[in-house]
Amino acid sequence: MKSLAAAVAFLALGACALPAVAQTSAVPENAAQIRLSFAGVVKTVAPAVVNVYATRRVQAPTNPLFADPFFRQFFGGGVEPPARVQSSLGSGTIVDPSGIIVTNVHVIADATEVKVALADKREFEADIVLKDERTDVAVIKIREKGTYPFARIGDSESLQVGDLVLAMGNPFGVGQTVTQGIVSALARTQVGAGESRYFIQTDAAINPGNSGGALVDLEGRLVGVPSSIYSSSGGSIGIGFAIPSTVVKFILEQAKSGSTVRRPWLGASVQNVTADVAEGLGLDRPFGALVTGLAPKGPAAAAGLKIGDLIVAVDGHEVDDPDVFGFRFGTRTLGGSVKLDVVRAGKRVQLELASVAAPETPPRDARTIETASPFAGATIVNLSPAAAEELRMPLDATGVAIAAVAAGSPAARVGFQKGDVVLEVNGVEVRDTASLARLAASDPSFWRIAVRRDGQVLRLALR
């Protein structure tokens, strides 16, 4: 691997000095050229790349006999089974000398304890600062105060297809590993674990355990966070995806002000442009994000955006599809304005939107139902424009929605899903989270529940 890297590096350096014909047959002329490698880059970055160990406690399922009153009288109510401890392993990168680390949300999902191990074998407990499921980026911080080695964050916008990059992490738990490849593609969408899909593709080997690690350029700057791979076998086949450093910077900036991410609110819904729609709009190819709905008092409507407008650029950056638009618009800072280029009636016009967060009216009043009921384990919220936007629900969505469902909970077994709107419980209308919490604690002998999912009303009857 090193000799191949040396040959590639030598050819790259010699390209300017050798004639075009001679480039294909050039060989190293001295020992120094043979020793060319990426060792200097690795030496700079490796101390900042850490192993992330996340543990979570999972309650073992209760013996169904203990739920039956007849058998319970013999077993005295039964003994609650002990919780099982599950562990997961991933990687992370220290990006600040105070011990701030970026990793993936799926590495630390539902973790009750997080530890990190540095390259020098030191281990520390870490606190979760922020988790953003939409981008699959998480920020954690080493609990013990100190000065730690860190990696500089580079500019993923400056990357080009063909640039050499290194991937660093802990694949399969074998220990810190470095792989080398190129940037295979930019702006890959519809892949990965996050809901905001915009990735750097690389052929540098990325395997399970690399998640949350570092994708660095040849100056040792973090340009991406490896997040997922395309594989039929579970191992690397040269198609890996990394979250751009542009997104990492945005999430780190949000982490400074709290544990939630606040994004600009468009106040409009957009969809992909098909070949037929492109032809109808007089376009030579499908591209852009087509506006299909507007919130009456949203920033888009206030700026003059109209249904049928085609958004083709955000602050000068071209938009190929709604996912690219979501990346470009969603990583703008709050305050100030955002410039949108739109095609309307065959003409290109520019609009300026206020960069503001979606309103939290009514307050979401998030609650996790714990009482014995079909809703136990579900987190519910009052729908506001902010909550609806986070849950990717229609602009006019109102009521009480399920924001999360704990794995293995009664709510999960019933089949409740993120985004379900609870309409009625036993004939009583659900007006807010407080009323649903009361209904969930009512302990009836029979449950009749109505929910709205994807525009359809589903009715459940449960004992």
Q: Which of residues 260 and 236 earns the better pLDDT score?
A: 260
**Is 211 part of the annotated catalytic residue set?**
yes
Indicate whether 402 pLDDT > 50: yes
Question: In this predicted model, what pLDDT tens digit does every residue of 84-128 receive, in sequence order?
Answer: 556 778 999 999 999 999 999 999 988 889 999 999 999 999 999
What phi, psi does 235 have (nearest 5°)? -110, 175
For residues 271-288, average pLDDT? 89
For residue 422, what pLDDT is reported? 97
CA dist., res. 114 & res. 139, Å (int): 12
Please return the burial class of 460, using the count of CB atoms within 10 Å of its CB with bins 0-12, 13-18 and 19+: middle
pLDDT digits 0-9 by tens, 227-245: 987 766 667 777 889 999 9
pLDDT at 310: 95
Higher pLDDT, 172 or 49: 49
pLDDT at 24 over 50: no
Per DSSP bridges, beta strands 164-169 and 177-188 are antiparallel
- What is the rounded average pLDDT for all residues in the chain? 85
The DSSP string of 280-310 is HTT-SS--SEEEEEE-TTSHHHHHT--TT-E
Residue of 156, 196, 211, 373 marked catalytic: 211
SS3 401: strand
Q: Which entry of 91, 132, 136, 373 is annotated as an active-site residue?
A: 136
Q: Give yes or no for a contact between 291 and 165, defined as CB atoms under 8 angstroms apart.
A: no
pLDDT of residue 56: 75
Residues 226, 167: contact at Cβ < 8 Å? Answer: yes
Which position among 91, 106, 236, 409 bears the catalytic label?
A: 106
Q: Which whole number is the average pLDDT over 388-399?
A: 89
Q: Which is more confidently placed, 220 or 57?
A: 220
- Look at residue 112 in the predicted model and tell me its pLDDT: 87
Annotation says 136 is catalytic: yes
For the segment 177-206, the average pLDDT, to the nearest whole number, is 81
- Say which residue the tokens 């101390």 belong to: 47
Return the minimum-mean-pLDDT range out of 29-43, 199-213, 356-370, 448-462: 29-43
- Residue 2: strand, helix, or coil: helix
Q: Is 317 a catalytic residue?
A: no
- Return d(Cα 247, Cα 31) in angstroms, integer: 42
Beta strands in 406-446 (DSSP E): 421-425, 428-429
Specify the higher pLDDT residue, 395 or 423.
423
Query: Euclidean distance between the first and final Cα of the chain, in Å?
Result: 63
**Does the pLDDT value for residue 1 go beyond 80?**
no
Which pLDDT score is estimated for 15? 39
